[in-house]
Amino acid sequence: MVKCWLLKDTDKITDTRLENHREPKQYVTGDDLRRFGVFISHVPVTDLESGLDKICEEGGYKWRDQIVVNRTDLENYEERVKDFWNEHFHPDKEVRYLASGSGYFDVRNEKEEWVRMLLEPGDLMVLPGGIYHRFSPTMEEACHVIRLYSEVPTWTRFYRSEGECHNTRMAAIRTGHSMRIS
């Protein structure tokens, strides 16, 4: 299951691939995540196709794609990983399933603190539209992520410096990042 904790201040992070816990360590629960609109679950990799098919049917997800993040398969790896680390949000719900490897997804909670989620094989994460987040590979520097969509993906992203007035962001603020999972 997804492990989550409060991240130390960004300006104190020297390597995004490390856990970067606060001192003392402060863990975050699935219930804590749900309060600000993030849903996590686990679908065993051994049940990958049937499990993802069920999630797609229940959630109304009609499209899938995948991204393999490693130095061999991801073109311009260093540049892309730096871009993934830039704080941003998408207007649409973001659904991610980790098929192999590991990676960190950081999200802002209702207090604007960073919560780090370690996704490992079988972990599923759903972020509401309008929630700020970012991604970093772990020291393993390899992960295979399956992305699920309810509509044809448009890949619109808004960085922190430009997104505060966007309608989706304003709605997320009004609702405290609340969302309906399916």
* Ordered strands of the 94-101 beta sheet: 39-42, 123-127, 94-101, 142-149, 63-70
Alpha carbon distances (Å) from 82 to 14, 17, 18, 55, 87: 13, 11, 15, 30, 10
Question: What is the 8-class DSSP label of residue 88?
Answer: E
H-only helix segments in 24-124:
30-35, 48-59, 77-85
H or E element, residue 86: none
Three-state DSSP class for 91? coil
* Burial class of 134 by CB neighbour count within 10 A (0 to 12, 13 to 18, 19+): buried
Comparing CA positions, the residue from 115, 126, 123, 116 lying closest to residue 143 is 123
133 is in an annotated binding site: yes
Q: Is 90 annotated as a binding residue?
A: yes
Nearest residue to 31 via CA among 12, 59, 4, 63? 4
42 assigned to a ligand binding site: no
Is residue 166 marked as binding?
no
The binding site for Fe(2+) comprises 88, 90, 94, 133
The binding site comprises 88, 90, 94, 133
The binding site for Ni(2+) comprises 88, 90, 94, 133
